[in-house]
Amino acid sequence: MNKTTKILIAVLAVAVIIIALLLGYILGTKKKENEDVTEAVKTTEATEAPEKDTEKETEVSTEEDTNEPEEDTTEAEKKNDSTDKKYACYVKLSSGDSWEDGGKPVVQYSADLMNKSKADISGWEIKIDGFTGAEFVSGWNGKFKIKGDTLSITPESYNETVAAKGSTNVGFQIKFKDEAATKKVSKNAVLFVGGKEYTEPMPEKEQPKETPKKEKVETESGTPFDNHGKLSLKGTDIVDKNGKPYQLKGISTHGLAWFPDYVNKEAFKTLRDDWGANIIRLAMYTAESGGYCTDGDQDKLKKLVDDGVTYATELGMYVIIDWHILHDTSPLDNQDEAELFWAEMAQKYADYENVIFEICNEPNGSTTWSDVKEYADTIIPIIRKYDKDVIIVVGTPTWSQDVDLAAKDPVKNSENVMYAIHFYAATHKDNIRSKLETAHGAGLPIFVTEFSICEASGNGEIDYDSADTWFELINKYNLSYCGWNLSNKDEASSLIDSSCKKTSDWKEDELSETGKWLRDTISN
């Protein structure tokens, strides 16, 4: 082997050694970095996951802390989903307004405890997870305590017992450390009664009973119904028996349970002859005090509905039977009761050609159009089983304002089905009018089954200019309407002056400002 070859071999050997050393160093360094990262993650997890029994307790209650061990509600929460109606009592939780206070988000919540059972419940408690680090701001209709991750709500003395088929509402405001924390609040509320998780199953659904048809009453000749007969839909228009567009113009009662005296034939006759009204809407509340699905006398309420239909029919007027959803927010809450009610109404008035069914007044809160559609797609076939072509009106979300959503996805059985829009002129202006124009442009048949010219509260200032703008649209599209409301309640939307005790034959000075405006609008 010559000298040159020996030198080359030596150089190659040194190069191999150097490369091996470099590879060893690189691999060792990488392993150390991985070990450091793993250790850092472990340290972070241990630091950021405080143990439950060391968490700071925030008291917002007049009661003393009993230091009871906190329960693991994870499994209970899965079983007692607040949107799942399989239990006879459940909690419907929804979030509402939000704002900032000192740079931190504050969210307002509402929790409705629904008792669908056949017995009263007492000693209830609601638990909701997701409030770690949150601060209680204020609340009503309950006592509130945040402990660790869980908000507990117990009743006040006046709502400690929730009646069978009744409900109670609690509300509260919570301040969070940041926006991300607001997303961690559970959508489910777990109900405890007597210290135990409530798991009583929903009572078996009652089946509709056979209801005899109501014999038709004689209608006066020359009246609106006598001249125009049974109504139907053609495109977006209501048309009469001759196929000509026809506009229904009239009045809605207030809650039948609260103002029953206005359901009388002379009152309806006054509205027909002096005001020019051709339709009456019978508003039967479902959930409030005296409501059909809470503590109301169902037989008495149905008698008022029947009386109203009889008087309207005798006078040759059209009449709406209104399932007046409001405090219950979603028609799904009382759907079982609604199924029975509408089966009875459809059978009873199957031969009446002047009756219209409004199956849900004002869905609101967190109720979506898909919720309303689900309800409507159940109720409409029940009605159609007995009455194939009665006009049916479906409410829309946000207090019957979102007709644009319904236009994108109408109900399944849409023949002779209309959709409700409601407005209060001093509050609802171009934003709601644009929804109406969008929906009408898409071919949706719309009925203004409730409106007034004051604020959305039913009280406050009157806005004549906004009301006139609304009626330009109403008349442009030949929309039918019912003004709110036939009562002497001391508020702006009532049509009778609060000092007037008469229930018919009202004179000019016995009407409210709204009453005078509406009478003139209908008659003109």
Beta carbons within 10 angstroms of residue 171's beta carbon? 15
Give the residue carrying structure tokens 């000298």: 3
498-505, Cβ contacts within 8 angstroms, sequence gap of 24 or more: 503/261, 503/262, 503/264, 503/266, 503/267, 504/264, 504/266, 504/267, 504/269, 504/270, 505/266, 505/270
Are the beta carbons of 113 and 89 closer than 8 angstroms?
A: yes
Burial class (CB in 10 A: 0-12, 13-18, 19+), 199: middle
Listed in sequence order, the residues at least 6 apart from 389 whose beta carbon sits closer than 8 Å to its beta carbon are 232, 415, 416
Residues 6+ apart with CB under 8 A from 100: 106
Q: What number of other Cβ atoms are within 10 A of residue 5's Cβ?
A: 9
Give the active site residue among 288, 339, 358, 362. Answer: 362
Strands 417-424 and 167-175: unpaired
450 belongs to the catalytic site: yes
Q: Are strands 392-394 and 167-175 parallel, antiparallel or unpaired?
A: unpaired
**Which residues are paired to 232 by β-bridges?**
239
Which residues, 6 or more positions from 469, have their beta carbon under 8 angstroms from its beta carbon? 429, 433
For the beta carbon of residue 218, count every other beta carbon within 10 angstroms.
Answer: 8
362 catalytic? Reply is yes
The answer to whether the CB of 446 falls within 8 A of the CB of 479 is: yes
Residue with tokens 């019912």: 482
Length of the chain: 524
Marked catalytic residue, from 450, 472, 491, 510: 450
Contact status, residue 396 vs residue 403, Cβ threshold 8 Å: yes
What tokens were used for 305? 């509905």
**376 near 411, Cβ under 8 Å?**
yes
Tokens of 49: 């996951």
Largest CA distance in the chain: 134
Residue 499 corresponds to which tokens in the numbers above? 């000092």
Residue from 378, 348, 385 nearest 360 by CA: 378
Contact yes or no for 345/284 (Cβ under 8 A): no
Q: DSSP 3-state assignment of 104? A: strand
Catalytic center residues: 362, 450
